Amino acid sequence: MTTTAPVLLEMRSITKEFPGVKALSDVNLLVRAGEIHAICGENGAGKSTLMKVLSGVYPYGSYSGDIVYQGSQVRFSDIRQSERAGIVIIHQELALIPDMSITENIFLGNEPRKRGAIDWKSAQRQALDLMARVGLREDPDTLIKDIGVGKQQLVEIAKAFAKDVKLLILDEPTAALNEADSQHLLDLLRGFRERGITSIMISHKLNEIEAIADEITILRDGKTVETLNIQRDGVDEDRIVRGMVGRELGSRFPDHTPKIGDTFFEVRDWTVRHPISAERLVCKGESFHVRRGEIVGFAGLMGAGRTELAMSIFGRSYGVYLGGQIFKDGKEIQLKTVADAIHHGLAYVSEDRKAIGLNLLDDIKTSTVAAKLSKISKRGVLDQVAEYKAAEEYRRELRTKAPTVDEGVSKLSGGNQQKVVLAKWMFTDPDLLILDEPTRGIDVGAKYEIYGIIQRLADQGKGVIVISSELPELIGLCDRIYTVFEGQITGDIARKDANPETLMKQMTSTKKMQTR
Amino acid sequence: MSRIKDLQKNLFGGTTSNARQFGMIFTLVAIVLLFQFLTARDLGVGFGDGLTLRSDNLIALFQQNSYILILAIGMLMVIVAGHIDLSVGSIAAFVGILVAKAMADWDLPWPVAILFGLAIGAVIGAWQGFWVAYVGVPAFIVTLAGMLLFRGANQYVGNADTIPVPAPFQKIGGGFLPETGPDTGYNNLTLLLGLAACVAVVWRELQLRRTRKEMNAEPAPMWVSVIRMAIMVGLLIFVTLRFAGGRVGTSFPISGLILVVLVLVYGFYTRNTAGGRHIYAVGGNSRAAELSGVKLRRVNFFVMMNMSVLAALAGMIFVARSGASGPQDGLSWELDAIAAVFIGGAAVSGGIGTISGSIVGGLVMAVLNNGLQLLGVGTDRVQIIKGLVLLLAVALDVYNKSQGRFSVIGSITRPFRREASAEPASSSEAGSQPAKTTVAG
């Protein structure tokens, strides 16, 4: 890749305003043919807005500035026009229909026809060809809901190829993927580069960017900060972080000295089966404990049963309970409903904040108090002033970026939505917080803040369980890490012994290991 | 911002919940005035002598529509929770005939008969709520079945005959506030009611200002509040005098009084209580609500059961007003109630809507119906016009929303918000650094 390759796309002084907010001001982006171009920036830096301008989601006329693509100026008025020009965007939230097959999804809206009817034979043939190109080995008749997220992502890319893509835009492509799937996807992108397909990748995973991108454009507060060439400028992660936050970030994790107390929460022989198939155990007699002030990690591959374990403990929200006991402060407690769990001081921040963590119709203040209305009401009657004050307090404490607590949560960026979810559960005064992928899809700066919040909660004497697919995060944050493999806890590893190799070994084997 | 825009924002821009209700009432007033003008022109008389605003017409309007509006209250809660109820007309008819028969055959005293009717409604509601909440059958199907079931039950019990009801019972549908006190030329109780309403409007406005102050939001300028109160009070005085000064023996209808009480109670419930908040949470995202500790089944059971109790009440009021229960009672009421809720700004997918919006939505349909009939338009054409109004009202709102413009219906349904400029703190935080220490609250 040389810097002399022809320019494929140039966006010049793009400015986009929303009522009251300037989302982009004078942003420039130059992408050369055949490169992988990364776009980095914090939450709300304008990455997604820029891509929406490019793909015509925000039509020509709703922004100012020029887009020059393949040598001529383009004015897309909707997403179909940009797709016809070969620009395909793959969003973080996949746009696939779960109850349709891989073939049907690949050709959705783009069906090959013969005399007006869909030519399924040809579609099948083409689908197999496209699947081979993205390295997806599956029966093309398999339903989307029956394959994992990693493979779904590949279907999305195959779908893009079906549209004859020239410029592939990926928004957080690996956010929901485990290490192996991420690696596969990155290899795939490298393969595309060799075949001359240009990609733009938005990602918060800086190690991936460093490994794969040719050039990086960094945005901050709706402005272009700089464009760096990885090789020429000798860019590393710290360099990118500096560009994104505007200064040196000493460490990825805040300094923290744990103040660990006694064991106060214990689960014994926890056994749960799958909600539908009666033979499948998702938790096979697991036992674990949490001490006051301790941050406990749960490491495991996707599908290992970490979320299932957490949700089944949180008021039996998942699966069918078969056996096991929960002790808090030495006494056995019964958590048959979510209300019981909240009453006993448990909080569960889900991995999917949009689908099950928040009501997107709500504003910040209704979301903040939603899990414990009793705290702001007397005999069932809500005190709206108390509600406002509580929400405002958490907004300030967590530094949620929003004009007021009346702002709809759907308008917030991922990191700020996550802060609202955290506020919602902190508001319940929990003793034990279970955080499931608390930093998924969140940029470096906000991650740092969320780590700080987690540490402060632990310092208040609460127990915190962190479930994460990012090993560096668990190693940097947790005092102790359990590894989970196929519904079983396979390891209990102290901080000093935790390293990616040990964890990965325990995450892929059933051999029990203890290092304390 | 120009002066006019400023005024518009302050009066209708939703700076307080009072303001958005005010905006919707404004729309309703416009329709009323339109028909007043058209009926006056039709008769060739002055504007003041139009038919729409005559005392007897206003009273009739209220009496004829109170049961639909009562249904709209329950329907709003059902729709906000993400369901629908198609059975309300049939339930109303079935309860009506049972109550009529109970009084005719068993000589049940009328107050006991009313309680009996409400109890039947509760039992039917529990039946439907059971299927919806505990078995998980979609409400559309459960209530479609209920619609057939209870229509049939009405005709089975009544032998497809009409059964008259005694005079005291008829009061709840056709009665008025009694005449008492000194001869003022007006109905004194209606005057008192109007006075109470005026006091309530002023008290509420002042309380809202106080609340806003406690929330650190700059309240609308005082003159805006004064204008708003003046208009509301003026409107109330006008309506009160119309209701109080009608034909002797008529005044504010009892069924209207029942409606007002229900609107106040349910309005408070949906807005200001934890139970009400749970209904919105379930409709907005049921899984998220469940994981926040909301008892999903209990909420779904409650809204379905509550709807049937209100349907029972509506059925009894209708029977009382018409003096007898018959096999055709309550036909297509469900559709009128659903239309009122959607014109009033509820979202088809649940989670959004208000009681006051639904009431005004119902009144818009009622005034339209009434006005067109006064103009001598046949029922065939009235139906066509009502259908188009429903479609256009919602379509216009959907369109405006998609264009990011002011949404008439959205302005009614949005919970009250503060202007962003009222919070200067936010701008200074927007560019802050991630590692900065926490800003103390």
Span B304-322, pLDDT tens digits: 999 999 999 999 999 999 9
Are A245 and B433 a contacting pair at CB < 8 A? yes
Q: Are residues B258 and B388 in the same domain?
A: yes
Query: If you measure CA to CA, which chain A residue comes closest to B429?
Result: A401
Q: Has residue B233 been placed in a domain?
A: no
Residues of chain A with Cβ-Cβ distance to B275 below 8 Å are 380
B291 touches chain A (CB under 8 A): yes
ipTM value, please give it: 0.78
Residues of chain B with Cβ-Cβ distance to A361 below 8 Å are 280, 284-285, 351-352
B167 touches chain A (CB under 8 A): no
B1 touches chain A (CB under 8 A): no
Q: Are residues B39 and B105 in the same domain?
A: no
Q: What is the mean pLDDT of residues B394-400?
A: 73
Q: Are residues B9 and B110 in the same domain?
A: no
Query: Which range (A132-141, A299-308, A312-321) has the least confidence?
Result: A299-308
Query: If you measure CA to CA, which chain B residue comes closest to A254?
Result: B435
Interface list for B 304-363 with A (CB within 8 A) = 351-352
Instruction: Count how many domains chain B has.
Output: 2
**For the segment B181-200, what is each residue's pLDDT rounded down to a tens digit?**
788 888 888 999 999 999 99
Residues of chain A with Cβ-Cβ distance to B440 below 8 Å are 396-397
Question: Token pair of A90, please?
Answer: 């793959």
- The CATH number of the domain holding residue B416 is 1.10.3470
B415 touches chain A (CB under 8 A): yes
Are A338 and B441 a contacting pair at CB < 8 A? no
Q: Has residue B286 been placed in a domain?
A: yes
Distance between CA atoms of A214 and A211, rounded to whole angstroms?
Answer: 9
**Is the distance from CB of B400 to CB of B407 less than 8 angstroms?**
yes
pLDDT tier at B437 (50, 70, 90 boundaries)? very low
Find which of B270, B271, B291 to mutate to test the A interface (most A CBs within 10 Å of its CB): B291
- What pLDDT, on the 0 to 100 scale, is given for residue B136? 93
Smallest Cβ distance to B274: which of A382, A385, A403?
A382
> Domain residues for B355?
56-175+253-429
**For the segment A17-27, what is each residue's pLDDT rounded down to a tens digit?**
876 567 888 99
Are A359 and B431 a contacting pair at CB < 8 A? no
End-to-end CA distance of chain A: 49
Smallest Cβ distance to A359: which of B274, B289, B430?
B289
**For the segment A117-131, what is each residue's pLDDT rounded down to a tens digit?**
888 888 888 999 999
Q: Is A1 a residue whose pLDDT tops 60?
A: no
Question: Token pair of B230, please?
Answer: 């003046």
- Average pLDDT of chain A? 87
Residues of chain A with Cβ-Cβ distance to B17 below 8 Å are none
Are A381 and B275 a contacting pair at CB < 8 A? no
Find which of A252, A361, A363, A377 to mutate to test the B interface (most B CBs within 10 Å of its CB): A361
Query: If you measure CA to CA, which chain B residue comes closest to A58?
Result: B403
**For the segment A423-462, what is each residue's pLDDT rounded down to a tens digit?**
999 999 999 999 999 988 777 778 888 999 999 999 999 9
Q: Has residue B205 been placed in a domain?
A: no
**Is the distance from CB of A245 to CB of B436 less than 8 angstroms?**
no
- What pLDDT, on the 0 to 100 scale, is given for residue B266? 96
Greatest pairwise CA separation for chain A in angstroms: 74
Q: How far is A353 from chain B (nearest CA, A)?
A: 9
- What pLDDT, on the 0 to 100 scale, is given for residue A247? 56
User: Which of A25, A17, A447 lies closest to A244, judged by CA?
Assistant: A447
Distance between CA atoms of A36 and A185, rounded to whole angstroms?
Answer: 13
B403 touches chain A (CB under 8 A): no
Q: What is the mean pLDDT of residues A270-296?
A: 89
Smallest Cβ distance to A397: which of B288, B292, B441?
B441
User: Which of A348, A286, A287 lies closest to A317, judged by CA?
Assistant: A348
Q: What is the mean pLDDT of residues A231-240?
A: 80
Residues of chain B with Cβ-Cβ distance to A401 below 8 Å are 426, 429-430
Question: Token pair of A367, please?
Answer: 């979301």
Q: Is B422 a residue whose pLDDT tops 70?
A: no
Q: How far is B145 from chain A (nearest CA, A)?
A: 29
Q: How far is A59 from chain B (nearest CA, A)?
A: 12
Residues of chain B with Cβ-Cβ distance to A425 below 8 Å are none
Burial class (CB in 10 A: 0-12, 13-18, 19+), B136: exposed
Distance between CA atoms of B195 and B55, rounded to whole angstroms?
Answer: 18
More confident residue, B73 or A415: B73
Q: Are residues B304 and B372 in the same domain?
A: yes
Q: What is the mean pLDDT of residues B128-138?
A: 95
Q: Has residue B248 been placed in a domain?
A: no
**Is the distance from CB of A499 to CB of A472 less than 8 angstroms?**
no
Q: Is B16 a residue whose pLDDT tops 50?
A: no
- What pLDDT, on the 0 to 100 scale, is given for residue A424? 94
Q: Is B6 a residue whose pLDDT tops 60?
A: no
Question: Token pair of B232, please?
Answer: 């509301």
Q: How far is A480 from chain B (nearest CA, A)?
A: 25
Are B418 and A402 a contacting pair at CB < 8 A? no
Distance between CA atoms of B291 and A355, rounded to whole angstroms?
Answer: 11
**For the segment B29-74, what is each residue's pLDDT rounded down to a tens digit?**
888 999 999 999 888 888 888 888 888 898 989 889 999 999 999 9
Q: Are residues B124 and B272 in the same domain?
A: yes
**For the segment B245-302, what is each residue's pLDDT rounded down to a tens digit?**
887 778 899 999 999 999 999 999 999 999 999 999 999 999 999 999 999 999 999 9
Residues of chain B with Cβ-Cβ distance to A406 below 8 Å are 415-418
B273 touches chain A (CB under 8 A): yes
User: Which of B371, B419, B391 lies closest to B53, judged by CA?
Assistant: B371
Are B439 and A445 a contacting pair at CB < 8 A? no
Residues of chain B with Cβ-Cβ distance to A20 below 8 Å are 420
| Inter-CA distances, A218 with A28, A41, A229, Å | 10, 6, 11
Q: Are residues B2 and B68 in the same domain?
A: no
User: Which of B189, B221, B71, B81 lies closest to B138, judged by CA?
Assistant: B81
> Residue A178 CB: number of other CB atoms within 10 A?
19
Sequence-distant (≥ 6) Cβ neighbours of residue A169 within 8 angstroms: A51, A54, A55, A87, A88, A89, A90, A199, A200, A201, A202
Distance between CA atoms of A228 and A9, rounded to whole angstroms?
Answer: 16
Q: Is B405 a residue whose pLDDT tops 90?
A: no
- What pLDDT, on the 0 to 100 scale, is given for residue B160? 80
pLDDT tier at A512 (50, 70, 90 boundaries)? low
Are B274 and A401 a contacting pair at CB < 8 A? no
Q: What is the mean pLDDT of residues B65-87?
A: 95
More confident residue, A141 or B394: A141
Greatest pairwise CA separation for chain B in angstroms: 80
> Residue A499 CB: number of other CB atoms within 10 A?
11
Q: What is the mean pLDDT of residues A286-315?
A: 90
B290 touches chain A (CB under 8 A): yes
Question: Token pair of B204, please?
Answer: 């509420």
Q: Has residue B214 been placed in a domain?
A: no
Dihedral Cα B60, B62, B68, B70, nearest 10 deg: -150
Distance between CA atoms of A10 and A71, rounded to whole angstroms?
Answer: 9
Query: Which range (A203-207, A361-365, B163-167, B386-390) has the least confidence?
Result: A203-207
Find which of A349, A356, A358, A428 to mutate to test the B interface (most B CBs within 10 Å of its CB): A356
Q: Are residues B304 and B405 in the same domain?
A: yes
Q: How far is B324 from chain A (nearest CA, A)?
A: 40
DSSP 3-state of A21? strand
Q: Are residues B161 and B24 in the same domain?
A: no
Q: How far is A391 from chain B (nearest CA, A)?
A: 10
Structural domains of chain A in order of their starting residue, each with its CATH number = 7-245 (3.40.50.300), 251-345+430-516 (3.40.50.300), 362-429 (no CATH)
B426 touches chain A (CB under 8 A): yes
Q: Are residues B62 and B34 in the same domain?
A: no
- What pLDDT, on the 0 to 100 scale, is given for residue B14? 40
Smallest Cβ distance to A356: which of B275, B291, B295?
B291
Q: Are residues B272 and B402 in the same domain?
A: yes
Residues of chain A with Cβ-Cβ distance to B217 below 8 Å are 404
Are B292 and A392 a contacting pair at CB < 8 A? no
Distance between CA atoms of B213 and B219, rounded to whole angstroms?
Answer: 6
User: Which of A191, A224, A181, A228 lies closest to A206, judged by CA?
Assistant: A228
Q: Has residue B321 been placed in a domain?
A: yes
More confident residue, B240 or A44: B240
- What pLDDT, on the 0 to 100 scale, is given for residue B412? 47
Q: Are residues B326 and B379 in the same domain?
A: yes
Q: Are residues B22 and B63 in the same domain?
A: no
Place of tokens 């506020």: A423
Q: How far is B220 from chain A (nearest CA, A)?
A: 17
Q: How far is B421 from chain A (nearest CA, A)?
A: 8
Q: Has residue B288 been placed in a domain?
A: yes
Q: How far is A195 from chain B (nearest CA, A)?
A: 40
- What pLDDT, on the 0 to 100 scale, is given for residue A108? 86
Interface list for B 42-71 with A (CB within 8 A) = none
Q: What is the β-pairing status of strands B324-325 and B163-164? A: antiparallel
Are A339 and B438 a contacting pair at CB < 8 A? no
**Is the distance from CB of B434 to CB of A449 less than 8 angstroms?**
yes
Query: Which range (A420-429, B134-143, B217-226) has the least confidence?
Result: B217-226
Distance between CA atoms of B278 and B292, rounded to whole angstroms?
Answer: 10
Smallest Cβ distance to B274: which of A249, A374, A424?
A374
Smallest Cβ distance to B423: which of A315, A403, A445?
A403
pLDDT tier at B349 (50, 70, 90 boundaries)? confident
Smallest Cβ distance to B291: which of A348, A397, A448?
A348
Count of A–B CB contacts within 8 Å? 136
Among A126-140, A284-298, A501-515, B24-38, top mean pLDDT goes to A284-298
Query: If you measure CA to CA, which chain A residue comes closest to B210?
Result: A385
Residues of chain A with Cβ-Cβ distance to B422 below 8 Å are 404
Distance between CA atoms of A345 and A486, rounded to whole angstroms?
Answer: 28
